Amino acid sequence: MRVLVYPGSFDPVTNGHMDIIERASKICDKLIVAVLVNHSKTAAFTMEERIMMLKKAIGDRKNIEVHSFSGLLVDFMKSVNAKTIIKGLRAVSDFEYEMQMALLNRNLDNEIDTLFMMTSINNCFLSSSVVRELARIGAGIEDYVPHSIAPFIYEKFKKAGAE
């Protein structure tokens, strides 16, 4: 069984992530979306919120699971019996960091490989930080995140702004 692991912070999940999730799930038997437990205080959304948004966006697609992990990605990979990481690449600027991560992960465990998938052209400029920035200002995010979670993101930033 071919298992792919798509790791990230998903703070929050964007249409760019969903594009990779949808296309990656078609080239494997099981796709595991792995959400990193972020120990720094910079994460805007809690782990529970990030997982809830992912699950809502993914819906009932049968071969996709959402997990959380902390520590090393390669250790998580072992725990779910997976050997292949899938990552999205938006632009050449992503490449250097992703190459470093891919080589480091293979150095940590030489059975682990990383596959890269190009993001669709209309999502190339998109990132979680851009979505957070727009939502903080109160600007429209409907075109950039799954429709089912946009209201939740607005509410979160409205509450944070009121505090």
Whichever of 46 and 158 has its CB closer to ligand PNS, that residue is: 46
Euclidean distance between CA atoms 80 and 66, whole angstroms: 12
Whichever of 104 and 138 has its CB closer to ligand PNS, that residue is: 104
Contact stretch for ligand PNS (CB under 6 A) within 3-11, 50-58, 135-143, 154-162: 3-11
Sheet of strand 3-8: strand arrangement: 64-69, 30-36, 3-8, 84-89, 113-118
- Which residue in the list 17, 87, 132, 156 is annotated as catalytic? 17
Active-site residue 128, yes or no?
yes
- Which residue in the list 56, 78, 90, 136 is annotated as catalytic? 90
Q: Which of residues 98-127 bind ligand PNS (CB under 6 A)?
A: 101, 104-105
Contact 30, 66 (CB under 8 A): no
Return the active site residues.
17, 41, 90, 128
